[in-house]
Structure 1
Amino acid sequence: MADKDDASRTGAPGAAPSLPTLEEMQQWTWVMGRAQQLMMEFLAQQMREVKPPEPQALAQAMPWMNMFPDPAKLAEQQVTLWTDGLSLWQRALGFDGGKSELAEKADRDKRFNAPQWQDNPIFDMIRQSYLLVSERLLGSVDAIEGLDPKQREKARFLTKSFVDAMAPSNFALTNPLVLERAMETKGESLLRGLEHMLRDLSKGQLTHTDPTAFEVGRNIAMTPGKVVKRTPLYELVQFSPTTESVFETPLVIFPPWINRYYILDLNPKKSFIRWAVEQGLTVFVVSWKSADETLAETVLDDYVLRGQIDAIDTIRDLLGVESVHAIGYCVAGTTLACTLALLAARGEAQKVASATFFTAQIDFSEAGDLKLFIADETLDMIEQMSAEKGYLDGRYMAATFNMLRGRDLIWNYVTSNYLLGEDYPPFDLLHWNGDTTNLPAKWHHSYLRDFYRDNKLVTGGIVVDGEPIDLGKVETPTYVQAGREDHIAPAHSVWKITHHFKGPLRFVLAGSGHIAGVVNPPEAQKYQYWTNDAKVSTLEEFVAGATETKGSWWPDWIAWIGARSDKRVAAKGARTPGKGKLKAIEDAPGSYVRGR
């Protein structure tokens, strides 16, 4: 029979768990301190056994030691870790009053800011210990000598990925919220989490939102319009006018072929497409087909000639206009740059009155963390994965993009979906994020190799329809939007467009990232954007002299469009989908956007 003290620690049913006793705290402190001591003793022993420290012998005995040619730096790292760790134990035992800087940092970390992490000294110790070791691990990357910048960047990314994965919030026994929920639900939360995990394993993809909450054409991708053309590569969707008159020059939007176009038409309040229609533009969008075996041989020429230029010529002929405004979003902006250069080389640059680039890159010399996924072994793996069917399963790309923000897009959902067993929230943006598109294998491999890895669009070697692509020939008026916090197309990489095009160019730096920086309707009154009309050569100079404007950059863009071509015509005839030469095939958003 348990005595009174035992009962008070285990707690009666429904009673709040009591704090550990001083003896229990001392035991945990001793265990954690002893573990650290053993690790340091092992390291010291290894260093003693390799004497004299001849480089060749040292490399053979401990290859990882080659990263620290200066033993003093390694010793300094270990001493700092030991000192900070000792301070942490002292505070836990009450020998050092006040809240430490590390504890304050833990309070700000959304993974550990729930009261349960602070109220229980053991879990408070766990979270602070984790952050302490994490900081030292990340700091050790900067202490490694002999690494070139690309190697250091890769080491930092891999270390951060490891650190994020090992967070105590990601494991049931070291997360007080998970333990508390399991006790409250008598284990049912763990069962729900297991069901979520098994379901995701069966479909091979992490779920972020309620899969039944959204349906294309019902409550997302709702802007009225018609599919007026269908090819083996794309559908051309024309949207219905809502104003009596429209700009004479229409707009065609080229979304990324790696995603569904409705990121620009999520719902009526967020829809860039609906907003552009309301501003008096005749709007078309290219809806790319999700790749299957029929697109196995698709390459760059197809996306430029039979995709973008074909759509441009189709619209010009349908409406009887000389030119169109064109938008290229992300990777479609890369191919739009090729399209502009090809048209310029052919003497047909007038077909595009203006070009807008949403978070797009043409110079990949500093393309960010995605460059970490283009090593030869990665390209070989992608080729093997897609060799049989000729296309790459879109779930692979979804997982890659999730890895770029692993803490937010992977581990956060592992905790909520699997460990806590929470219901999925309805979130249209995350629904779109998980609505994957298959990619033509040949083209995707070429894109990663020739653009991302070898940067041939800038250095030379990209040829379309037999014509070498020269970006210096592009004089089309250009509007370039970049996201200040973009992790897919970093702002300093997008900025490089300004170094290559020769025509008039307006650069706008928007608040937020790759999606929210673009999908930011004016009525939301969110974020801000920066402009600078001075002639500057670097993004740093641009920012230093920039003017900040609160809210969306969309009004700035439509004003820029209006300045290029402000003539308006009646919104009738071919301006209404299906009323011109091209008859309606089906209602928007069409079939390709639903294809798997």
Structure 2
Amino acid sequence: MTTTAPRRDRDTPRPRPAAAPDGSAEEAAGDAVMGLDMVLVDAARGPLRRMVPPARTLAALGTALARHPEVVVRRGGELVREVGRIAVGRSEIAPSPKDRRFADPAWSGNPLLKRTMQAHIAAAQVAAGLIEDADLDWQDDERIRFALTNVVDALAPSNVPFLNPLALKAVIDTGGRSAVTGLRRFVSDVTSPPRVPTMVEPDAFTVGEDLAVTPGAVVLRTPVFELLQYRPSTPTVRQVPLVIVPPTINKFYVTDLAPGRSIVEHYVAAGHQVFMISWRNPDERHAEWGLDTYGQAVLDAADAARRITGSEHTAFQGFCSGGIILSMVLAHLAATEGLDRVAAASFAVTVLDWGRAGTIGALMDEEAVRDATERSRKKGYLDGAMLAEVFAWLRPNDLVWNYWVNNYLQGKTPPAFDILFWNADTTRMSAALHRDFIDVAIGNQLTEPGRATMLGTPVDLSTIDVDTYVTAGIADHICPWQSCYRTTQLVGGRSRFVLSTAGHIASLVNPPTNPKASFQVAPETPADPEKWLANAHKEKGSWWPDFAAWLAERAGEEVPAPESLGSAELPVLGDAPGTYVFDK
């Protein structure tokens, strides 16, 4: 159902988008937006299944350790000796300086708390050592480590109400009100999906007032998407329009957050004509919308942008899963002699080659895949709330237990972060698209010509011979930068690869005003990503101006900016951000 955004009282101050003290929670939320195969499988089956490794993996661990009992004895002895040192106050174990869970001085100053923390760290180190000693194959090793990380994080003493000094101080300072508020928040969160602590209040921002406010209009509406055209802010613009293909997970406005943090706003200010696809939030009526449906939508959007601007060409930028769709569309255009209408293409934090991509590839099995696709088929869609739950459990320390302490133990309201608000503004995924994405990812189909199809055409990425601009995040745990880099080897044409700071989405929402922003770039893109890295040099600042300049060289001549949006054939249907963005 389409709804309008709730209107905030005009006299109520609007929150400014905050940044986390060290950026960790905000960046972790961004990091947890991709990892296509694991995310889509776990979202259908339930993320907590991942906490317990398959029986065969546990059996492999047990067998490996049974072959080397001396290892178990040695590690057990290490733990006993360390616990002894902890008991008499002689242990030198300390948390990482970056571990915010134990940042309160009480963890080091109070003897009981210090010993409890040290015992927890010691036990975790021994468990990790045993896994290392077991020398399992890479898939079993990743499965065990993933489960161990979740268990260790859950059992941290900082999560225990009567041990956490922040919780105890809050109870004293508020006369017990913090405990009551925290319990109320806990009950509210566990009784409605996603069943994880709230990361941002649902009324912290209003889309169209605080976020997604770059001026523009809806110039095309179909059952699948709305096309937004943004109003130029310069007297002249580049002739070739840029069509942005956003993720099909969450809403499009990750590219148009608050003023000053909006990619769209920056592109418009650089003199580009920008069009944005805003996907409809599908429900059971749209179960059959698959990759072909979304691929045709990209073609329809490009055709509309050309008709409105009068340009014979279009440039594209695909984000995350939108980049996957875009790559297949470009291969379709190459096969149907339509690629000559494409001026350039960009892929942002997009993985097209899933070969051995770390935890993501390791945690899949055929039974899980079949179960996941069958569940979404029966329902007609993949629930966005389940996706949000999966995202949280991919980085539990930052996205679950951090808010467990803040919301429940301290009874506080979570800070207002714009990225976290976007992350919580979930969308569904049609059953057919869910199935198609899993097939493409699990089978790594885009690496072999003809294994995947788009609109009836075999997909061969090597036929995409337009210039491409590929970005990745160096700290992206879900889409490793090396996997993103391999796009430069899959597509034809010249590629420019840019390695941004931070993680998945935080590397994208990285405006020039960010004093920590930097990126790495090299003149060539050799086959080996590590060789590229060795030859790369660091540029201070955001990659946004670099991309805008790169695109300007391929986006035609400067022409007078249009005085109005849309055209006689495609008139304005309403103001940006449109109506589909408000679908719940």
Normalised by the length of structure 1, the TM-score is: 0.84
Residue of structure 1 in register with 2:166 after alignment: 177
Tell me, in whole angstroms, the C-alpha distance in 2 between the residues paired with 1:106 and 1:571: 54
Tell me, in whole angstroms, the C-alpha distance in 2 between the residues paired with 1:297 and 1:330: 22
Tell me, in whole angstroms, the C-alpha distance in 2 between the residues paired with 1:321 and 1:517: 31
Instruction: Give yes or no for contact 1:138–1:160 (8 Å, CA) kept in 2.
Output: no
Q: Give SS of 1:523's match.
A: coil
Residue 364, structure 1, aligned to residue 354, structure 2: yes
Instruction: Give yes or no for contact 2:226–2:279 (8 Å, CA) kept in 1.
Output: yes
Tell me, in whole angstroms, the C-alpha distance in 2 between the residues paired with 1:350 and 1:169: 58
Shift of 1:376: 3.2
1:70 aligned to 53, 68, 71, which one? 68
Shift of 1:485: 0.4
Residue of structure 2 in register with 1:239 after alignment: 230
Residue 296, structure 1, aligned to residue 284, structure 2: no
Residue of structure 2 in register with 1:497 after alignment: 487
Tell me, in whole angstroms, the C-alpha distance in 1 between the residues paired with 2:437 and 2:524: 34
Instruction: Give yes or no for contact 1:326–1:355 (8 Å, CA) kept in 2.
Output: yes
Higher relative contact order (CA 8 A, sep 6+): 2
RMSD of aligned residue pairs (Cα, Å): 1.8
Shift of 1:310: 1.4
2:474 aligned to 458, 470, 484, which one? 484
CA separation of 1:112 and 1:182: change in aligned 2, threshold 3 A: same
Tell me, in whole angstroms, the C-alpha distance in 1 between the residues paired with 2:335 and 2:60: 53
Tell me, in whole angstroms, the C-alpha distance in 1 between the residues paired with 2:130 and 2:175: 43
Shift of 1:535: 4.7
Residue of structure 2 in register with 1:419 after alignment: 409
Instruction: Give yes or no for contact 2:295–2:455 (8 Å, CA) kept in 1.
Output: no
Tell me, in whole angstroms, the C-alpha distance in 2 between the residues paired with 1:106 and 1:122: 19
With 393-402 and 563-572 compared, the bigger mean Cα shift is at 563-572
CA separation of 1:372 and 1:392: change in aligned 2, threshold 3 A: farther
1:211 aligned to 202, 218, 240, which one? 202
Residue of structure 2 in register with 1:591 after alignment: 579
Shift of 1:456: 1.2
Task: Specify the code of the residue in structure 1 equivalent to 2:93.
Answer: L
Tell me, in whole angstroms, the C-alpha distance in 2 between the residues paired with 1:241 and 1:108: 43
1:86-485 alignment to 2 at 5 Å? 86-90=84-88, 92=89, 96=90, 101-103=92-94, 105=95, 108-145=98-135, 147-205=136-194, 206=196, 207-305=198-296, 307-371=297-361, 374-448=364-438, 450-459=439-448, 460-485=450-475
Tell me, in whole angstroms, the C-alpha distance in 2 between the residues paired with 1:580 and 1:536: 48
Residue of structure 2 in register with 1:20 after alignment: none
Post-superposition Cα deviations, 1:130-171, rounded to whole Å, max 9, x if no partner, equal 1111112122222114x3212211211111111111111112
Instruction: Give yes or no for contact 1:404–1:487 (8 Å, CA) kept in 2.
Output: no
With 533-542 and 162-171 compared, the bigger mean Cα shift is at 533-542
1:505-516 alignment to 2 at 5 Å? 505-516=495-506
Task: Specify the code of the residue in structure 2 equivalent to 1:282.
Answer: Q
Normalised by the length of structure 2, the TM-score is: 0.86
Structure 2 segments unaligned to the other structure (5+ residues): 1-55
Tell me, in whole angstroms, the C-alpha distance in 2 between the residues paired with 1:362 and 1:134: 35
Task: Specify the code of the residue in structure 1 equivalent to 2:319.
Answer: Y
Instruction: State how many pairs are aligned.
Output: 523
Instruction: Give yes or no for contact 1:382–1:392 (8 Å, CA) kept in 2.
Output: no
2:558 aligned to 547, 552, 568, which one? 568
Instruction: Give yes or no for contact 1:106–1:127 (8 Å, CA) kept in 2.
Output: no
Post-superposition Cα deviations, 1:185-224, rounded to whole Å, max 9, x if no partner, equal 2321111011111221233123111221211101111011
CA separation of 1:553 and 1:194: change in aligned 2, threshold 3 A: same
Q: Give SS of 1:78's match.
A: helix
Task: Specify the code of the residue in structure 1 equivalent to 2:517.
Answer: Y
Q: Give SS of 1:246's match.
A: strand
CA separation of 1:149 and 1:373: change in aligned 2, threshold 3 A: closer
Residue 577, structure 1, aligned to residue 574, structure 2: no
Shift of 1:386: 2.9
Task: Specify the code of the residue in structure 2 equivalent to 1:321.
Answer: S
Shift of 1:118: 1.7
Shift of 1:83: 2.4
Shift of 1:108: 4.6
Task: Specify the code of the residue in structure 2 equivalent to 1:174.
Answer: L
Residue of structure 2 in register with 1:540 after alignment: 530
Residue of structure 1 in register with 2:34 after alignment: none
Tell me, in whole angstroms, the C-alpha distance in 1 between the residues paired with 2:322 and 2:348: 9
Shift of 1:474: 1.2
With 327-336 and 387-396 compared, the bigger mean Cα shift is at 387-396
Post-superposition Cα deviations, 1:481-510, rounded to whole Å, max 9, x if no partner, equal 010001221101101112211210000100
Identity of aligned residues (%): 37
Tell me, in whole angstroms, the C-alpha distance in 2 between the residues paired with 1:345 and 1:333: 18
Post-superposition Cα deviations, 1:345-402, rounded to whole Å, max 9, x if no partner, equal 1111112211111100110113343335543343344345434430111011111111
Which has the greater radius of gyration? 1
CA separation of 1:535 and 1:452: change in aligned 2, threshold 3 A: closer
Q: Give SS of 1:344's match.
A: helix
